[in-house]
Structure 1
Amino acid sequence: MSLKTTEVTSALNVETLITQAQETSGLRDFGDDSFMLPMQKLLECIVQDSTLHPEGLASIVADVQRCLVNRLRFQQDLQAHPEISQEDVDDPIIILGLGRSGTTKMQKILSAPDDVQKMLFWRLWNPAPFSQAQEDQADPRIALAGTSNLVATDNNAVHAAHHMEEQEVDEDWLLYLLTFDDTIWNQLVFSPSYLDWVTERSSSGPFAYTKTLVQYLQWQDGGKRDRPWVMKGVGYIANMKSLISSYPRATILHTHRDPLVTIPSWAKFVSAMWSLRSKPIDKQLIGQQVMRYWDWAMDRYLHDRDKMNLASCIVDARYEDVRKNPIGIAQEVYDRSGRSLNAPAKQAMAAWHNSNEQHRFGKHEYSLAEFGLNEAMINDRFADYITRFIER
């Protein structure tokens, strides 16, 4: 079923969505309203690019509503508890890299011990507690996260590429949805015009806001208590200045895998993700969009890594080692951060590794040709990265 542009425009009306969020939450104060411009632009671009199917439109409306309600609830808690902004989150372990380079595996291994803070999906999906939550009962955010179409989807391609569960760790990049000002939105919905717009903007504001959300999550969990966060976001490679400004004592793990593999793999993944909300999209357009994003992101990363002299805080890890020796990589990360990897932590990591074989949720199959790509194209666009970090 096709949607008329007027239907999409009506459903994505900013004033209506704001009013509905205020009515749902019973709150009116958003605090800083700098999110309004990017939200308006995001919705305009979605209408302009017009790829949504009816279920996808309903999902985007729900996503926007969820983000707005969480902003309102967070603002209320921040006003009532200004000590939230004093929480120390400056020294996380942060995993980044090209999409499909082993970042998820390393996040889950490094999150396995009890003495770290974990980015659980249900907390990322709704960082603000519900007003009706009872301390002696399971947090209602858990069950609601389980109904998310990212978790509950029956799309096997999504599960094979990146399986999500409400009580498992996931990318804190999801928190950036609340800013409406980050390329994470382009992972949920195909919108070339939004990607063109947002990649020209400064990321300092979205990163500063999202840091306060991390402080908020830590405050909810009783404070730091000598537990570093384990964070992950493949999109972080495009924003190293803002990342380090927000987390100045971070230890960064960069996983490296040949772009000849990661680029078509990511194209297959976002193709599956976009199908949850969009009508079928020409695969050559998908290939072009993926190349445009990762080429831009990697150029920024290589430039900032060198200019900012970040080598001392980055652990570089080959994908082959992620597969075969992830505990060794974890040890190197701990050594670089100045923390001791004790026996219980190492045992927890090994237990996760031994019980989670690759392709547990199906094999993620892809090819360059499927998306109008070829080896020469990849080798040319990623030549500097390949020369520095990829062994062939």
Structure 2
Amino acid sequence: MDKNIITIDDLSAPILTEAAQAALAMVADMSVSLNPDEILAEAKDTLSLDDFGDMEFVSRLTLLCEEWSQDRTINNLGLLGLRGKLVTFAKNRLLIQDLLTRHPEIHNVKIEAPIIVAGLPRSGTTHLLNLLAADSRLRSLPLWESYEPVPTPGEEMGENGQDPRYERCDAQWQAMQQISPLMAAMHPMNPEHIHEELELMGPDFASYNFEWLSTSPRWRDYYFSTNQTPHYEYMKTVLKILTWQDGDVTGTQTRWVLKCPQHLEQLPVLKKVFPDAIIPITHRDPVSVIQSAATMVAYGRRAIRDSIDVPAIGDYWADRIYKLLEACVRDRSQIPAAQSIDILFHEFLADAFATIEIIYDKAGLVLTDKARSELQDFMDNHPRGRYGQVTYHLKRDFDIEPAALREKFQFYFDAFPVKAEI
């Protein structure tokens, strides 16, 4: 048997690593509370700052705290992780507001003609983003910077000269690998990994990202009921901050490359906030996407929940992918052909450079010898499946028949010539 092939057969009844068992034992007797007032107070006390800006975000923070607190399957380790994420977002909001107050000129920075990849999760968006980011002419967002976009004033570099934000991100990744060692094969989260800009909406307590952190149907319904434009504008402001921190005080020297699956269901908003963006859209068999995404979610919950309803996870993400594609098919025509390209997953895998050349042509970028070399180096050093290739079992693990599921997505296959994979 190929040692590179990984089969996960304990999604419903996880066999935990020693590190996971030790972590659970360590926090078993703790009292963990998701209280919005306490979260905001901790952020203020830690930074000695107290201006969050517009406080309208508190209702969203409260909704998240209430929904997650009422989920009786989340254990203390899971609650601590969720609470830590919310505290980090609150701290980031304080730092962002403080910087904008001291330097209002940041609002004048331009974000010009970014390349923003949209597409289903597990459809090649991450690989395409990281490949594009290998071109040194483009500015991208590494994971460590997405987690903490603004440095903490007075915080010094580590002994090895590394940014302390990087060190904290690396420590999280090392801990995650001890608890969930197969995560690297599904979605690496090392500090330098180029990440989604959606993380920059976190301090505004917005985006569908919270659905990935925990089962959140109330949050999902709230998200669907509200206009996401203000949150995209907030994200754009943080991009301006990052550009300004780089020393580009006008933004005219920086061209961003970004990506997020959420954009599929927010194409009109994306176009409104980034009117000159070039938008490559990846397309893949949704059945493959669902089994991959649902497996990753179920596996990621093995140590943070006392019980895992694996079929329910499959149903949730089948519905969620349906909604993403429903919106994409409805709104795709709102993005002009001159600013967009549809990328079929199987064609991208077969010839990545052919896809890159089309994107560069749309973006007005020349694929120079240097850029081609940088992209080739990335592909050579990041082959698909280098951490192992996970095999997925939709029927066995989620009790979902692939053929029956695919029928529900016929509208999508009618709109795009996607290749069925399963």
> CA 1:118–1:371 in 2, change beyond 3 Å: closer, same or farther?
same
Q: Once the 2 structures are TM-superposed, how far is the Cα of residue 275 of structure 1 from its aligned partner?
A: 3.3
Instruction: Specify which of 385, 395, 403 is matched with residue 359 of structure 1.
Output: 385
2:280 matched to 1:280? Answer: no
How far the C-alpha of 1:28 sits from its partner, in A, is 0.3
For residues 170-206 of structure 1, what are the alpha-carbon distances to aligned partners after superposition, in whole Å with 9 as ceiling and x for unaligned? Answer: 1222222222222101111122332233222221121
The question of 1:143 aligning with 2:167 is answered yes
Which residue in the other structure is 1:391 paired with? 419
Quick check: 1:266 aligned with 2:288? no
Residue 341 (structure 1) aligned with residue 367 (structure 2): yes
The residue aligned with 1:164 is 189
**Residue in structure 2 matching 1:26, options 48, 53, 62:** 48
**What's 2:126 paired with?**
104
Report Cα offsets for 1:107-137 as digits up to 9, x if no partner. 1110001111011111100011111244894
Over the residues paired in the alignment, what is the CA RMSD in angstroms?
2.2
Deviates more, 1:272-281 or 1:35-44: 272-281
Which residues of 2 match residues 198-347 of structure 1 at below 5 A?
A: 198-223=223-248, 224=251, 226-275=253-302, 277-306=304-333, 308-347=334-373
Residue 61 of structure 1 corresponds to: 83
Question: Distance in 2 between the 1:293 and 1:81 partners?
Answer: 40
- Correspondent of 1:16 among 9, 15, 38: 38
Going from structure 1 to structure 2, the CA distance change for 1:51 and 1:179 (only over 3 Å counts) comes to farther
Check the 8 A contact 1:189/1:277 in 2, yes or no. no
Aligned-residue offset at 1:274: 3.2
Gaps of 5+ in 2: 1-23
Given the alignment, which residue of 94, 97, 103 partners 1:81? 103
Aligned-partner residue type, residue 209 of structure 1: Y
Partners of 2:199 and 2:209 within 8 A in 1: yes
Q: Give the Cα–Cα distance (whole angstroms) in 1 for the partners of residues 43 and 237 of structure 2.
A: 21
In structure 2, relative to structure 1, the CA distance for the partners of 1:331 and 1:75 (3 Å cut) is same
Distance verdict in 2 for CA 1:146–1:271, change over 3 Å: same
Q: CA deviation at 1:329?
A: 1.0
C-alpha displacement at 1:305, in angstroms? 1.4
Asked whether the equivalents of residues 284 and 419 of structure 2 are also in contact (C-alpha less than 8 Å), the reply is no
User: 1:49·1:192 contact (CA, 8 Å) conserved in 2?
Assistant: no
Change in CA separation of 1:356 and 1:285 when aligned onto 2, cut-off 3 Å: same
Provide TM-score, normalisation by structure 2.
0.87
Change (3 A) 1:286 1:150: farther
Identical residues among aligned pairs (%) = 26
Cα deviation, residue 40, structure 1: 0.6
Q: Distance in 1 between matches of 2:201 and 2:298?
A: 21
Q: CA deviation at 1:37?
A: 0.9
Change (3 A) 1:242 1:150: farther
For the residues of structure 1 that align with 2:351 and 2:145, how far apart are their CA atoms?
Answer: 30
Q: What amino acid sits opposite 1:40 in the alignment?
A: T
| Contact map agreement 1:130 1:140 (CA 8 A) in 2 | no
Whole-angstrom CA distance in 2 between matches of 1:254 and 1:121? 22
Separation of aligned partners in 1, 2:31 and 2:69: 9
Report the Cα offset of residue 149 of structure 1. Answer: 5.0
Helix, strand or coil at the partner of 1:228: coil
Q: 8 Å contact 2:286–2:321 — kept in the other structure?
A: no
Q: Which residue of 2 aligns with 1:190?
A: 215
Shift, 1:44, TM fit: 0.7
Instruction: Give the direction of change, closer, same or farther, for the CA distance of 1:117–1:309 in structure 2 (3 Å limit).
Output: closer
CA pair 293-135 structure 1, distance change in 2 beyond 3 A = same
Q: Deviations over 1:149-180 (max 9, x none)?
A: 58743313321110111122112222222222
Q: Quick one: distance in 2 between partners of 1:79 and 1:377?
A: 55
Aligned mates of 1:76, 1:112 — CA distance in 2:
32
1:159, 1:213 → 2: CA distance? Answer: 28
Secondary structure class of the residue paired with 2:207: coil
Q: Could you tell me which amino acid in structure 1 is paired with residue 132 of structure 2?
A: L
Q: What is the aligned residue count?
A: 388
Question: Structure 1: how far apart are the matches of 2:347 and 2:267?
Answer: 24
